[in-house]
Amino acid sequence: MASSTFLVAPAVLRPRGASPPAACGGGCCCRSCSAPSGGLVPRASARAPSRRRRSPPCAHPVRLCVSAGAGWPVVLRGSGSSNRGFEKGLSAAATHAEASGQVGDDDEDMAHVTNEALRATIRKSKEVLARHKIILEQISEKKKLISVLAESSIHNDQEPHSGQSDSSFSNLNTVSEGEEIDYSRQTYLATHAQPSEFDTTYGESIYDQSEYYESVEDEDTDFNRSFGEDNYGNYYQYDSFHRAAPSVYQPEAANGMDHRYMAQISEASEKDQSVNEGANGNPAASGGVDVMNVILVAAECAPWSKTGGLGDVAGALPKALARRGHRVMVVVPKYGDYKEPQEIGEPRKYQVAGQDMEVKYYHAYIDGVDFVFIDNPIFHHVESEIYGGNRTDILKRMVLLCKAAVEVQWYVPCGGFCYGDGNLLFIANDWHTALLPVYLKAYYRDNGFMTYARSVLVIHNIAHQGRGPIDDFNYLDLPGHYMDQFKLYDPFGGDHLNIFAAGIKAADRLLTVSHGYAWELKTPDGGWGLHSIIGENDWKFQGIVNGVDTTDWNPRHDVHLQSDGYTNYSLETVQTGKAQCKEALQKELGLPVRGDVPVIAFIGRLDHQKGVDLIAEAMPWIAGQDVQLIMLGTGRQDLEDTLRRLESQHYDRVRGWVGFSVRLAHRMTAGADILLMPSRFEPCGLNQLYAMMYGTVPVVHAVGGLRDTVQHYNPYEEVGVGWTFEKAEANRMIDALGHCLNTYRNYRSSWEGIQRRGMMQDLSWDNAAKLYEEVLVAAKYQW
């Protein structure tokens, strides 16, 4: 059970143009706070209370609120488990049993504080703030100097603009000692002038969410002794000052921050630049504008757990956002014993279906991203079948994941510091985490808390919606009036509970994984019963095509092409490289080694959606074309039997690998000439992107993301990167595949041009991350 100590929520920095919160009602210590009196978040109920009565401080657990630099409240809440607060679901924060006073802004008020740990924290904060004042003066002088240098270097041959400097240096104007410094300016300073700081006064948060404070040598004051003097300066990119009582944030073994883990973090920080350092000089960086704390929540994340494209997205998109300067966390269940994560923070308890469930947190810092794993026995032993099992068991797993995820920013001190709820964006994915936007609204924003946190819901596959009987609402632990958000009428089954529908309504922004799929979702055929709800929320809905993790999928350095006769290759060596990989693939699978025979590959899940049955229907034609066909996948038993049957009937030219092998998937993508994707619907699709990066030509059904990413080849203008067909029918597929084979055999220069155009595209996640960033910014400033 979590210890009963104070936890300081991170500072909130107000966006430009945002109004300050209303004045507090007297239940906290700040002068400008929206927190209700009484200390804890009120229990969510079917109706809002008509009035909150002010209670004396001694009658309730202490809720300490301090004002951040822009006038927003920062909430100091307890971190222990308690039955108070959100009694029906989310774990309420407990407070220290001995804390009975409130902390004001001067020494006189401090005399009323009886908690020694809190008194020590306040004293340390004062020391830090004194040092910050000195740093502020230093940085102001540096900014003046930079402004002068910029003016002289840029406008040395021109008349200076009256009253303004060059836009590149517009954020470097002198800042007076008492002026507020907004979040974007802090980030700019962090990347252009170090050490970095922001103006603050006693009672305000003393650290920034994403800045890295370099070592400040001072013989008289040592702010970082508890982190270990040997580790300071290269400890962790979020290394900064203490922000709560030592029992909560000291890097002790109890919190998962022992010396071995510190060494691991230090080693990782040596390999990777910090978020701010990485943004400096990086063309993919966001330039310090609207830098945010981003928490992506998913049911799977590669390489630890993966059943399809969602796992790839959860593993790659956060890294691309981190490269743009954001502080990014991924929250995912811990299905197995993973090597990289180590336990961190304090265990917490959440109530699911009337049962208390304790979760533990495990953390790994990789490529600039905090990967946080939620551990509970309910997640164990389902790694091979994440979405399998009894309907209610699946629902309970997703409820626990969402409850833990919506509060993870307070209780997991990544690098020693929690993310906090200021400047915070959640990215939920598919129905499995669609409850997160609902919980954020029902338990927090409806009650005046986490006012500036936002949620974005991404639709990867609308066919899976978290449907169930109305009685399943009892498992969700929500106020009764929220039933209407989940209730949906089905012409075939009547009223039912639909989790995806509620998430779509509650999210601040709605995304899907391609422009084509975004259009399809608003049609009766493509929306799977949710088209009307999506249409009603069209104002906040758009599509963004997924990217490719180029560290994993890249023919230049693909680790799976470095043995068994395969070879790495590039755009310059694609012809010889693919020929060698093709020969190695034929040898590995026992096919006749023939360089002149086109090799066609299918890689995917074996179900109705992927169109494997269309390949089987076209097999008599394919068998007569002097080609080799290799199929890899697992899924429905009847389709697995189809693969085995096709191999046995055409053993000299067909191979059907039942199962899934990452290594073979990479090798097939490199060794094949053609990738066949006859999917009936495809939200985005990743295999066609991988294929084009490897110089393998896609032949796809023009639907969803396949239509967006594969431009049909035009032989008259020599444009296009593959072939498409308009209907999911065997004869349409045969027609497109026939044109493809004709070009392969008879128009070699055109074929090589198609390969080059596919490989020259920038399909990385960096492009997609820019578009995601725009959506996150839109959500951030949405009211």
Tell me whether residue 582 is in a domain. Answer: yes
The structure tokens listed for 443 are 């338990």
Kind plus residue range of the DSSP H or E element containing 517: helix 515-520
Q: Helix, strand, or coil here: 569?
A: coil
Give the Cα separation of 751 and 377 in Å (integer).
53
Looking at residue 422, what is its pLDDT? 85
Q: Domain for residue 619, yes or no?
A: yes
Looking at the predicted structure, is the pLDDT value of residue 115 above 70? no
- Mean pLDDT in residue range 701-709: 95
Give one DSSP letter per residue of 689-732, joined into a string. HHHHHTTPEEEEES-HHHHHH-PBPBTTTTB-SBEEESSS-HHH
Q: Quick check: is 595 in a domain?
A: yes
**Order of strands across the sheet that contains 64-67:** 6-8, 73-78, 64-67
Residues 395-452 pLDDT 10s: 999 999 999 999 999 999 999 899 998 899 999 999 999 999 999 999 999 999 999 9
CB contact set of 559 (below 8 Å; sequence gap of 6+): none
680 and 771 assigned to the same domain = no
pLDDT tens, position by position, 743-775: 999 999 999 999 999 999 999 999 999 999 999
pLDDT at 764: 92
The answer to whether residue 310 sits within a structural domain is yes
Lowest mean pLDDT among 89-98, 210-219, 458-467, 606-615: 210-219
Answer yes or no: is pLDDT of 342 > 90. Answer: yes
**Together in a domain, 753 and 776:** no
Strands (E) located in 188-230: none
| In-domain check, residue 229 | no
Distance CA 85, CA 443 (A): 10
pLDDT for the residue numbered 381: 84
Least confident stretch, 25-34, 637-646, 750-759: 25-34
Alpha helices in 324-453 (DSSP H): 391-405, 408-411, 435-439
Mean pLDDT within 529-536 = 95
User: What single DSSP character describes residue 618?
Assistant: T
- For the chain, how many structural domains are there in total? 2
* 132 belongs to a structural domain: no
pLDDT at 138: 74
Q: Are residues 311 and 449 in the same domain?
A: yes
**Banded pLDDT at 121 (limits 50, 70, 90):** low
Q: What are phi and psi of 105, to 5 degrees?
A: -110, 10
**What is the rounded distance in angstroms from the CA atom of residue 688 to the CA atom of residue 327?**
31
Is the pLDDT at 28 greater than 80? The verdict is no
Predicted pLDDT at 219? 37
What is the arithmetic mean of pLDDT over 127-147?
Answer: 72
One domain for residues 395 and 503: yes
Does residue 594 sit in the same domain as residue 706?
A: yes
Give Cα separations from 744 to 714, 753, 759 (angstroms). Answer: 14, 11, 17
In which band, very low, low, confident or very high, does the pLDDT at 118 lie, cut at 50, 70 and 90? low
Q: What is the pLDDT of residue 136?
A: 74
Q: Do 540 and 587 belong together in one domain?
A: no
**Predicted pLDDT at 570:** 96
pLDDT score of 277 more than 60: no
| Rounded-to-5 percentages of helix, strand, coil across the chain | 40, 15, 45
The percentage of the chain sitting over the pLDDT mark of 90, rounded to a whole number, equals: 57
Q: In this structure, what token pair is assigned to residue 258?
A: 């022992």
Position 468 in a domain: yes
* Per-residue pLDDT tens digits for 73-103: 344 444 443 333 343 345 433 333 333 333 4
Give me the torsion for CA of 279, 285, 291, 295, rounded to 10°.
Answer: -100
Report residue 669 as tokens.
């993508």
In this structure, the answer to whether residues 508 and 615 fall within a common structural domain is: no
Are 542 and 495 in contact by the 8 Å Cβ rule? The answer is no
Of the pLDDT bands very low, low, confident and very high (cuts 50, 70, 90), residue 276 is: very low
Reported confidence tier of residue 494, pLDDT bands at 50, 70, 90: confident
- Are both 638 and 747 inside the same structural domain? yes
* 768: CB partners within 8 A, 6+ apart: 317, 320, 544, 545, 546, 547
Q: Which of 76, 70, 75 is nearest to 13 (CA)?
A: 70
Indicate if 543 and 593 belong to the same structural domain. no
**Nearest C-alpha neighbor of 10 from the set 218, 233, 214, 198:** 198
User: Would the pLDDT of 671 be above 80?
Assistant: yes
Q: How sure is the predictor about 567, in pLDDT bands with cuts at 50, 70 and 90?
A: very high
> For residue 4, what pLDDT is reported?
35
In a domain, 670, yes or no: yes
Structural domain containing residue 731: 559-763
| Burial classification of residue 390, based on how many CB atoms lie within 10 Å of its CB (0-12 exposed, 13-18 middle, 19 or more buried) | exposed
CATH of the domain at 427: 3.40.50.2000
Q: What confidence score (pLDDT) does residue 365 get? A: 97
CA separation for the pair 565, 555 (Å, rounded): 14
**Using 50, 70 and 90 to split pLDDT, how confident is the model at 126?**
confident
- Say whether both 708 and 744 belong to one domain: yes
Lowest mean pLDDT among 117-131, 177-191, 361-375: 177-191
What is the rounded CA–CA span in Å between residue 187 and residue 276? 7
Phi, psi of 89 (to 5 degrees): -160, -85
pLDDT-based confidence at residue 348 (cuts at 50, 70, 90): very high
Nearest to 541 by CA among 507, 492, 569: 507
Helix (H, G, I), strand (E, B) or coil at 375: strand
The rounded radius of gyration (Å) of the Cα atoms in the chain is 28
Residue 499 has pLDDT above 90, yes or no: yes
Instruction: Average the pLDDT over each of 130-139, 197-206, 518-527, 635-644 and give the range with the smallest value.
Output: 197-206
CA–CA distance, 732 with 742 (Å, rounded to integer): 16
- CA torsion angle 13 15 19 22 (round to 10): -30
Whether 492 and 620 map to the same domain: the answer is no
Q: Would the pLDDT of 323 be above 50?
A: yes
Residue with the bigger pLDDT between 94 and 461: it is: 461
Question: What mean pLDDT value characterizes the chain?
Answer: 75
Q: Same domain for 466 and 567?
A: no
